Amino acid sequence: MKNLASVQTHPVFSEGDYLDFERFAQERHEFLDGSVYAMAGESPNHSTICYNLYGLTHIQLRGKSCRGFSPNMKIATNEAGLFSYPDLAIVCGPPAFLDDKSDVLTNPTVIFEVLSPSTENYDRGEKFLRYTNYIETLKDYVLISQESPFIEHYSERSGWSKTEIKGLDAILKLNSVECEIALVELYDLVEFPA
């Protein structure tokens, strides 16, 4: 689960200050309009869903020109003032990076976020707007619930409209990367709240 508790060391960071700070930090931090936010640990459900997601996508991407990046790879929205750590990013073709450090990706095709109570509104709101308005390569934005078998899939092909995928018998289809994710496999070993 991510926590958006602001780091108060500096009232406002420039993007360069943030990158200098983040590249030597022991913990991960996201950047939004000059503010830096610490990222907390994950719940067991969050961690299990991410692990399952990596396995399901890795198998289907083998032999293709697309590849996944772990949540340790930062994503930049260029002039939109956001650096973030999605739970999984997929890039098709050669990855493009912000600079020669190769630790900030600028051309994701698909971004996955596993929702947490503390960041759910942010992931659906401000982060969605910045990803979809400023990342030209982005084709799919996928929000995954950890409370029930439920996915919100935003697709650029349909003008960033949302499709809801519900239930363990449902399948998420990502045409942009030619992957299908069965929710029964994505949620394997996840224990939903009563």
The residue count for the chain: 194
DSSP class of residue 125 equals T
- Give the burial class of 87: count Cβ atoms within 10 A of its Cβ; 0-12 exposed, 13-18 middle, 19 or more buried: buried
The pLDDT of residue 7: 42
| Rg of the chain (C-alpha set) | 16
The pLDDT of residue 3: 45
The stretches in the chain having pLDDT less than 50 are 1-10
Nearest CA among 42, 46, 29, 182 for reference residue 114: 46
Beta strands at 104-105 and 110-114: parallel, antiparallel or unpaired: unpaired
CA–CA distance, 77 with 98 (Å, rounded to integer): 10
Burial 23-55 (b: 16+ CB within 10 A, else e): eeeeebbbbbeebbbebbebeebbbbbbebbbe
Amino acid in position 112:
F
